Structure 1
Amino acid sequence: MLHSIEWYVCPSSWYVHLVLSIAGIAVDIETIRKHFPALTACSSSARHTIYFDNAAGTQVPRQCIERMTDYLLTSNANTGGVFPTARRSDALLGESRAAVADLLGAASPREVTFGANMTTLTQAFARAFGRSCQPGDEIVTTRLEHEANVSPWLGLAERGVRVRFADIRTEDATIDLDSLANQLSERTRLVAVGYASNAFGTVNPVARIAEMAHSAGALCFVDAVHFVPHGPVDVGTLGCDVLVCSAYKFFGPHVGILWGRADVLEQVQAFHLRTVKAEIPDKFESGTQNHEGIAGTLGSIEYLASLAPVGTTRREQLHKALADIADYERTLSVTLLSLFERLPYITVHGITDRTQITRRVPTFAVTVTGHAPRDVATHLAGAGINVWSGNYYALEPMVRLGLEARGGAVRISLVHYNTLDEIAVLGDALEQLAS
């Protein structure tokens, strides 16, 4: 919950200093920002960089950097050896799997697979899952997806598998559940859905969609890449069968993660080397993993857990910290919506109803009247504000909303280390663009 708001007079149009309450303990946002060297470097420079490009990758805390550095200095070896560095590498991978299991609410670290990135893992899983598919079988996904949750399933067409798309509501970029229900049939084998839209910030009703998939006799595959940094995840509560995410979206390095229910993963015939055990998690991990990246992933999870010192287990700490982060980020979302409302030349594509603020994360796709998205991004970059333009691999929704032919949209994406002060700077820069 938001602990307090303190108002200050400053040269900008308005400035708000926030104190975030995590586990009942007030934490100054500036204290949180000091965990991130990149943000500290910004503060010490003559010109601050504002990172509103977080949907493409977040900055990393010191715990992540220190874990990576320590691994390379003291434990750099392959796994499975009888000597100390190899044994330390084995221990690190085990510790990191356990941390990810806590982050996602998994039943066992065995259910956690590491890989190069979410796209690679999804392609590997889709290809393996396709081995059990028959001509005429169907995969259902939606028009709201990142391309990494579309193309891997389209690739099963060579096996005669058909991909069906549930439509979205163009007025607020949300999934049309009636359309989804109409796509399901006795031939549906799997429903692939994103937890949150990387373009529009929409949080999808994954638990409900998992129920719909299971009622049709299908599995539910969840792309949680964009949601994980914004709130707690519990795969048991969601009821999904497989979930993928990427550490570099939750303050870690470039490492992909695939979680799956043990009974589901054990049944999927993965492609793997003959020298690799046909057991989880080994059978889905192709080649030697990025050990230093996995070490950094552990560090990023340790950072998140440290934000909630109250809790008997790391799982409880992570759940509490991320729940409070979600509360704070809703303040950011409401503030951004207020800013956009007072700028008549800004159009927000996605949920704008403040009573529905819990159905979105602070990721906004906007267009500016009279300006191409890339030109807006270039202008903001000149003001020290990092944002993205284009489709950000969210091709299906950009086409469906008629934005792709117009250069996509400007994506402004915040996380918990961003501030209302930074939003004020964004407002000034947008006003300068209009003038």
Structure 2
Amino acid sequence: MAYDVEKIRAQYPALADGRAWLDGAAGTQVPQSVIDAVSDAYRVGVSNVGGPYESSRRASGIVAEARSAVADLVGAPDPSCVVFGPSMTALTYRFAAVLAAGWRPGDEVVVTRLDHDANVRPWVQLARKAGASVRTAEVDPTGELPAERVTELIGDRTKLVAVTAASNLLGTIPDVRTITDRARQVGAVSYVDGVQHCPHVPVRIAELGADFYATSAYKWAGPHLAAVVASDPWSLETLHPDKLAPSPDTVPDRFELGTNPFASMAGVVAAVEHLAGLDSDADGTRADRLAVSRRAARDHEDRLARTLFDGLAALDGVVRHGAPQGPCTPTAFFTVPGTEPAAVAEFLAARGLNVSHGHSYAWELVHALGVGSTGGVRASLSHYTGESDVRRLLDALGDLSTG
């Protein structure tokens, strides 16, 4: 088989502990190649950029390679579209501050209840400071977000539309392109949270129609680093964030505060290369290899997701919340009536299963689903998940719900 999950798993040292790592939505593990790339950067030595010596030139090269790698991963037109930062939350606050600079009373911002709070709260807070109105799109009980729920809120005074490309809690994949097309018709900016989308779906920013697309490397086998990618360099050229007087005023550098984490950026390059090699038959440019490998990974995850979703539906003592009928990532959110989510997670942990519990920062969504801030349990599959991991989870939940 071109996609050999056992061969892929063997590249991840952490997976050798025998546990089922079903918490990819909270953060994936990293392959040995990423570990080596980070450690090699430190071992060989890097200095800050701008110096007339090899270690400084090496740092500049790492930054350039990291921008190029992320551009290939998400189909950006140019590496200069890629802005790095410590987290999606930090970067979104950074972009919110500059995008909101011209908002006035009477202007409108559109957000959704499907989103992680990092793509809700920054916009809400900046809108309130500007006196702008916030319009919130509701989700269906199934956990789906019909595009018209968002587009009907977009009007002539809309300045920004924030929408997730995939729910971090339910896996729901809304029709982003219809939403961004409507935003563009009225001259509004679209800011798309791709943190849970990018690990599972081959990405082309142009196909999404997003003005800005956010992704986090630690959700796709990389280090703890994030990027916001613009649809074109011009989108960044028109924005002027606050910065230190002597720091670069070039794009994309002027959006990045302080010194970049060069070793982590080397890990980003290695992570993208790893994703490009998941299918042993993939060849050609890195973008070509990514296209083949990521389709193969998506097929693998889809097969496992069907096993997971069908298995949960067959368990009488387990309630899955928000079961989208349309496209979704391999993520399930559920509760076991009579047992607190934390206790369920502890029970599963004792059985060698890593799952998340709580609200997962999907603050609006957990309340819309009626589970409150205690939330539920989230099991999320990754490209390195094996079928036995899913079977172990279903067996353990069967024991818990009938015990």
Aligned twin of 1:236: 206
Equivalences for residues 277-356 of structure 1 within 5 A: 277-308=248-279, 309-351=281-323, 353=325, 356=326
Measure the CA separation in 1 of the matches of 2:7 and 2:147.
Answer: 42
Give 5+ residue unaligned stretches, structure 1. Answer: 1-20, 43-47
Aligned twin of 2:31: 61
Contact 2:282–2:293, Cα closer than 8 Å, also in 1: no
Structure 2 residue identity aligned to 1:37: P
Contact 1:145–1:193, Cα closer than 8 Å, also in 2: yes
Pair 1:414-2:390 in alignment: no
Give 5+ residue unaligned stretches, structure 2. Answer: none
Match of 2:359 among 386, 391, 394: 391
The Cα of 1:352 is off from its aligned counterpart by 5.5
Structure 1 residue identity aligned to 2:259: T
* % same residue: 38
Q: Given the two structures, how large is their TM-score scaled by the length of structure 2?
A: 0.96
Q: SS of the residue aligned with 2:287? A: helix
Q: SS of the residue aligned with 1:280? A: coil
The Cα of 1:373 is off from its aligned counterpart by 1.0
Structure 1 residue identity aligned to 2:65: E
* Closer/same/farther in 2, CA of residues 310 and 419 from structure 1, 3 Å limit: closer
Pair 1:135-2:92 in alignment: no
Contact 1:390–1:410, Cα closer than 8 Å, also in 2: yes
Match of 1:116 among 86, 90, 97: 86
Aligned twin of 2:73: 103
Aligned twin of 1:31: 7
**What are the Cα deviations for residues 106-127 of structure 1, in whole angstroms up to 9, with x where unaligned?**
1110000111111100000000
Structure 2 residue identity aligned to 1:297: V
Measure the CA separation in 2 of the matches of 1:310 and 1:330.
Answer: 20
The Cα of 1:207 is off from its aligned counterpart by 1.3
Q: SS of the residue aligned with 1:334? A: helix
The Cα of 1:75 is off from its aligned counterpart by 3.0
The Cα of 1:203 is off from its aligned counterpart by 1.0
Measure the CA separation in 2 of the matches of 1:264 and 1:109.
Answer: 13
Q: Given the two structures, how large is their TM-score scaled by the length of structure 1?
A: 0.89
Alignment RMSD (CA, Å): 1.3
Aligned twin of 1:214: 184
Pair 1:262-2:233 in alignment: yes
Measure the CA separation in 1 of the matches of 2:212 and 2:201.
Answer: 18
- The structure with the largest strand share of the pair is 1
Structure 2 residue identity aligned to 1:367: T
The Cα of 1:176 is off from its aligned counterpart by 3.1
Match of 1:161 among 132, 138, 152: 132
Contact 2:146–2:174, Cα closer than 8 Å, also in 1: no
Number of aligned pairs? 399
**What are the Cα deviations for residues 159-198 of structure 1, in whole angstroms up to 9, with x where unaligned?**
112221111101x111133321221111101111111000
The Cα of 1:277 is off from its aligned counterpart by 2.4
Measure the CA separation in 1 of the matches of 2:152 and 2:209.
Answer: 21
Measure the CA separation in 2 of the matches of 1:102 and 1:177.
Answer: 28
